[in-house]
A and B are shown apart, each in its own frame.
Chain A
Amino acid sequence: MSAEPQTETREHALELWRQMRRIRLFEEKCAELYSAQKIRGFLHLYIGEEAVAVGTLQAITADDAIVAAYREHGHALVRGVPMPALMAELYGKAEGCSGGRGGSMHFFDAKRRFYGGYAIVAGGLPVAVGLALADKLRGLSRVTACYFGDGSIAEGEFHESMNLASLWQLPVLFICENNFYAMGTALDRHQAQLDLVLKARGYGVAAQSVDGMDVRAVERAAREAADRVRQGKAPFFLECKTYRFRAHSMYDPELYREKSEVEAWKKRDPVLTYAASLRQSGVLDADTERNLEQSLSRELDDAVRFAEQGTWEPETSLTRFVHAEKEAPQ
C-alpha cells in the first residue's frame, strides 16, 4: 500500500540526504549567528532530529497543511519556505516569513499552508484538529500534519485533541517527535506510561512507533500513516523516537543528562549514518557530495546576505496586523 518504490530511486535517496544536510547546515549557522548576537531570543535547534521532518514530509503534499511547534526550522525548510525568508525572520527583518514579528519560534507561510510556529506546548494541536475539520466540512481530501514533542503529551490539549480527532474522524497525522526530554525533564520523569503509542490507541487512534534516526524508516512509516489518514479519513499517531544533540535552547546548560548519553546517540546521527550508507551503496560519490555541499553552502551564504541586507520594519507600523487592514497602509 505505501509508496515504497519511490525511496529507491537514486534522485530520491540523494534528495533525502540533501534535505537533512540542508537543515543541519542551516542550524549550525544559526548557532553561530546566535553567538554573534545576530539572532536573539529563544532558539531551539533541531540538530539530531532531521530525519523526522525530512522523512515524514515526504508523505505530505503541497495541498496538505503543516502545524509545527517552536522547534520548526527543519519543517519549514523541507516545506519549501525559502531559506532567505527564514533567515530574515531569525534576524527580525521585515522580509522574514512572518514579517520579522515571530522570530525562531513563529515561522508562518500561509501560502504554503505552513501554519506555525506555536510556542505554547501543545497549543498547535487543537488548531490542527480545526484545520482538518475545515477540510472535512469542505469535502477536501487533505491531511494536516501536526508536529509536537513528547512534552505535549502531559498537556490536556493533547488528550482533548486525540479524543476529538478520533470522535469526528478527522484527517490529522499527529507526529510526536519523542526526543525523550521536555526541556530538562526526561520522559520517565514526566510520563507514567512510557509507551506513547498506547496513549493514542486509548482514544481509538491508530498508532505506530518508528526509529526517528532512520530517515528511510520514517519515510516508510509516514507514507503508510498518511495513506491511512487519507483513505480512512481518520487520525493517525506516529511516534518518532529521536534525540536532540544540542541543548534544549541556547540558554540551557544541560545539567540534566550525561555527556556519555549524548555521545551514544550521536553514533546514530541520522545525517552521518545515512550518508555512510549512501556512500557504501555507491549512490553518493565524492563528486556528487562536493557539488551538493557547495550548492548548499551557496544557498546558506545567500540567505545570510539577504537577512543582513534586510530592512527593519519602521516603528510606525508596529501596531499593524492586530486586526485585518481595510486598505493598505502607506
Chain B
Amino acid sequence: MSAPGATTYREALRAAHREALQRDPRVFVMGEDVGRYGGAYAVTRGLLAEFGPERIRDTPLSESVFVGAGIGAAIGGMRPIVEVMTCNFALLALDQIVNNAATLRHMSGGQLGVPLVIRMATGAGRQVAAQHSHSFEGWFAHIPGIKVLVPATLEDARGMLWTALQDPDPVLICEHATLYNASGELAPNAGAVEIDRAAIRRAGQDLSVITYGGSLAKVLAAAAELDREGISAEVLDLRTLRPLDDRTILESVRRTRRALIVDEGWRSGSISAEISARLMESGFFDLDAPVARVCSLEVPVPYPHHLEEACLPQVEGIVRAAKESLGHG
C-alpha cells in the first residue's frame, strides 16, 4: 500500500499504459490475464474497464503465438504492448523474440521494422522458487536488434514505456518483481524519459558500483553503509542493458578508479561479465584494482527464504566486496 501522496512502481507503470492508450489509438495491450484478472502483477488492473476488450486483450497461455502476433501486428501498423508474465515464460517465445522480432529488419534489408514493446517481470526475492525467479534480461541483452530496458525507479517505470513505444524497433522492458510495491513521490508531470543513458544515482569518489533494476535499492543501502565508514561510493544505474552506455560507465570508473558490478543474474556469461570485459578493454589503465562482481550464486533459485537470500546479492555482500576492492578487506 502506498502512503498518501506516494505512488507505487506498479501505479507508475499503469499510468504509463493509460497515457499510451489515450495518446495513440494504435496502442493495445495483449498477454495472459492482462484484462479480467488485471495482470499477474496488477499492472493493467482497471484498464479493461476503461479501454475495453479490443485494446486490453486476454490471450491464451500461448507465449509464442501472442508474442509473434505482436510482431505481426507491429508490422501491420499497430503499436502493441505485449505483457509476458515473467521472463521465465518468455523462453517459450524465444523463437519469436530472437529469430523474428530482433532479426526481421536486418534480414529484410531494412524493409520491415518491428515497433513492438514486450514487458515482463524478472528476478527473485519472493520465495516463488526457481521457475519464477530467474533473471534473463542479461541473456536478452546478448541479442542485436532488440533493446533491453530495466527500470529501477518510479520515474523510469513511469517514463520508459512511452519512450519504448516511440522506438521503431522491438524493446523489452524487464521489471523486477520485487519493485512493483516500491513507492515514493512521483512528480505529477512525470513523463517520457531518455533511455539511452545510464544514470548516476549517487555521486561518490572511492569506487563505482554499477547495477540496475532490482539491485539498485540494495546498492544504495550498501552505499549508505559504506558512507558511515568513510567510503564514498558512486552508484550507477544502467537503465538499459542493450545498448550499454559505455561512456557513462567509463567516465565514472575513470573518476573513482574502482568498479564493482552488482547483478542478480548468474556470474557466468552474464551482463556483469560483459561490463567487466569492456572495462578491461577500454578502462584497464584507469583501474587501481581488479573489477569486482557480486552476482547470484550459480544455482537455480531455491524456495526457502534463507537459501534464497543467500543466493542473491545482498547489502552485506556488496559492502564486503566494495571494501575488498578498496583493500580494506
A and B co-occur in one complex: yes
Interface residues of A (CB under 8 A from B): 65, 67, 96-102, 106, 108-111, 115-118, 120, 123, 125-135, 137-138, 144, 156-157, 160-161, 163-164, 167-168, 320-325
8 Å CB contact of B108 from A65, A106, A134, A325: A106
20 residue pairs bridging A and B, Cβ less than 8 Å apart: A67-B72, A96-B109, A98-B109, A98-B111, A101-B108, A106-B108, A108-B104, A115-B75, A120-B100, A125-B68, A126-B68, A127-B69, A129-B68, A129-B72, A130-B71, A131-B75, A131-B76, A157-B65, A164-B69, A324-B167
Chain A residue numbers with a CB within 8 Å of B234 are: none
Q: What is the distance, in angstroms, from B167's C-beta to the closest C-beta of chain A?
A: 8
Q: Nearest Cβ distance between residue B201 and chain A, in whole angstroms? A: 27
**Given A65-B76, A131-B73, A134-B77, are A323 and B62 neighbors across the interface (CB < 8 Å)?**
no
Cross-interface CB contact of A130 among B60, B73, B168, cutoff 8 Å: B73
Task: For the complex, give the distance between the alpha carbons of A115 and B145 in Å.
Answer: 18
Q: Which applies to chain A's interface (DSSP): helix, strand, loop or mixed?
A: mixed
Within 8 A of A (CB), among B61-91: 62, 64-78, 80
| Contact between chains at B99 and A126 (CB < 8 Å) | no
Contact with A along B130-171 (1 / 0, CB 8 A): 000000000000001100000000000000000000011100
Interface contact B73-A167, CB-CB below 8 Å: no
Known A130-B69, A137-B28; contact A163-B109, beta-carbon cutoff 8 A:
no
Please give, as numbers and ranges, the residues of chain A lying within 8 Å of B109 by CB-CB distance.
96-102, 108, 321
Minimum distance in angstroms from A99 CB to a CB of chain B: 2
Complex contacts, A161 vs chain B, CB 8 Å: 65, 68
- Tell me whether A126 and B111 are in contact (CB under 8 A): no
Within the assembled complex, what's the spacing in Å between the Cα atoms of A160 and B95?
A: 14
Docked-complex contact A157 and B95, CB < 8 angstroms:
yes
Interchain CA distance A131-B71 in the complex, whole Å = 8
Q: Are A117 and B62 in contact (CB under 8 A)?
A: no
- Shortest beta-carbon distance, B212 to chain A, in Å? 21
Min C-beta distance of A197 to chain B, whole Å: 21
Chain B residues in contact with chain A, CB under 8 A?
A: 28, 54, 57, 59-60, 62, 64-78, 80, 95-96, 99-100, 104-113, 144-145, 167-169
Q: Report the Cα distance A128→B64, complex, angstroms.
A: 13
A129–B65 CB distance below 8 A: yes
Per the bound structure, the CA–CA distance linking A164 and B58 in Å amounts to: 11
Contact A126 B96, beta carbon cutoff 8 Å: yes
Q: Hey, which chain A residues are within 8 Å of B69, CB to CB?
A: 126-127, 129-130, 133, 164
Measured between alpha carbons, how far is A108 from B108 in the docked complex, in Å?
6
A120 and B99 in contact, given A106-B108, A323-B145, A324-B169 (Cβ under 8 angstroms): yes
Across the interface, do A99 and B72 meet the contact criterion of CB distance under 8 Å? Answer: no
The chain A residue with its CB closest to the CB of B67 is A126
Taking each of B74, B111, B145, which has the highest tally of chain A beta carbons within 10 Å of its own beta carbon? B111
Could you tell me if A130 and B112 are in contact, using CB atoms closer than 8 angstroms? Answer: no
